[in-house]
Chain A
Amino acid sequence: MRRLALAALLVAAAAAAQERAIPLEKLKSGSTFLGDDLRSLQDDDFANPGLLWVERGEKLWSEPAGRTKQSCASCHQDARSTMRGVAARYPKIDAESGRLLDLEGRINLCRARRMGAEPFKYESEELLALTAYVARQSKGMPMDVSIRGAARPRFDAGEKAYHLRRGQMNLSCAHCHEANWGKRLLSETISQGHPNGYPVYRMEWQTLGSLERRLRACLSGIRAEMLPYGSPEYLDLELYLAWRAQGLPIETPGVRR
């Protein structure tokens, strides 16, 4: 009996001990790869453009919607306390449906399930605002997702997706963000590709955008086909990215190039 238990422990330990291409102590947030101007813009509690969406999210939090005419606040009261730490644990498996959800997915699931309300469209002003507002409540808290249980096969799929070569340039995420982070690509310095600032105000977009949008932008950058919004592969990747960024503080709304 004891030998069986010991063997089970060893197997569990091997499964849990996942090797990291970038060790935890060498993790650097995307904001460290910015120039002085954009970094101080991110830290400016007035002028950070992402805060316009956070403010809108705060209003939407208390707006009743759907068949039940409830608002987020009806169940979750003051987001500043109830949502604290939530973003740090996403993406996460929803126990009831077994689905892997990012924050956007959770917001829409709540709307459907609890409020009888229509889901917000991807990249809509409302979804961006609410996601930014909820994530902002975890500002400064370390990212800490679980890859145990039902999340494990999704994590494994995400790890495969991260290392898969794609597109005309035949590159995987790892080619830039693992093998060549810190090096220059034209005039820009390649970051480690962490998701801890999302949703971000990206200068290229001149607006706030989701992590899924950023993954699509990467795909178009390597001349690969952009998967449609909501593809499970994005969720797999988001979970892998969140695990990869374990311990990095949430910076929402981040400012990026």
Chain B
Amino acid sequence: MAARVQVPAKAKKGEIVEVRILIQHPMETGYRLDDVGHPIKRNVITLLSCRYNGVEVFRADLSSGIAANPYIQFYTVADRSGEIEFTWIDDEGKPGSERQSIEVAA
């Protein structure tokens, strides 16, 4: 699953930084019909988690109410240099992950 994560490359310790993620996923609602009139099975990302150096700093339960190719932006406090890592899972059990490094100056 393609995904993009954006965090500032550099931040000061204690600074509130913007974190953005865009994931390629159809977020199939389960209410659409295919060409011959059969319902297309629901497949949405149900859980998204963000860990900063291994500690969860953000989590989301998602549903078909979130648009296709989901976009989420939130904030976290720049703590130490390291990795901001996202993991997620969809209805089909397919996992995804994407990460970005952040450099935090004291």
Tell me the A residues contacting B by CB distance below 8 Å. 46-47, 49, 51-53, 55-56, 201, 206-207
Contact = CB atoms under 8 A, between A and B. Distances in A.
A46 B20 contact: yes
Given A206-B26, A207-B26, A49 B69 contact: yes
Contacts of B105: none
Interface in B53-106: 67-69, 71
A56 B22 contact: no
Given A46-B20, A47-B22, A206-B26, A55 B68 contact: no
Nearest to B1: A52
B68 A207 contact: yes
A206 B22 contact: no
Which applies to chain A's interface (DSSP): helix, strand, loop or mixed?
Answer: mixed
A206 B20 contact: no
A94 B24 CA distance: 34
Contacts of B6: 46
Nearest to A41: B71
B4 interface: yes
Contacts of A47: 20, 22, 71
Interface string B44-60: 00000000000000000
Nearest to B67: A206
B2 interface: yes
Contacts of B69: 49, 52, 201, 206-207
A51 B26 contact: no
Nearest to A55: B2
Contacts of A49: 22, 24, 68-69, 71
B24 A52 contact: yes
Q: Closest 10 CB pairs between A and B?
A: A206-B68, A52-B24, A49-B69, A52-B2, A46-B6, A47-B71, A56-B2, A47-B22, A46-B20, A55-B2
Contacts of A46: 4, 6, 20, 22
Nearest to A206: B68
Interface in B1-33: 2-4, 6, 20, 22, 24, 26-27
A47 B22 CA distance: 6
A127 to B, nearest CB: 15
A201 B6 CA distance: 20
B63 to A, nearest CB: 15
B73 to A, nearest CB: 8
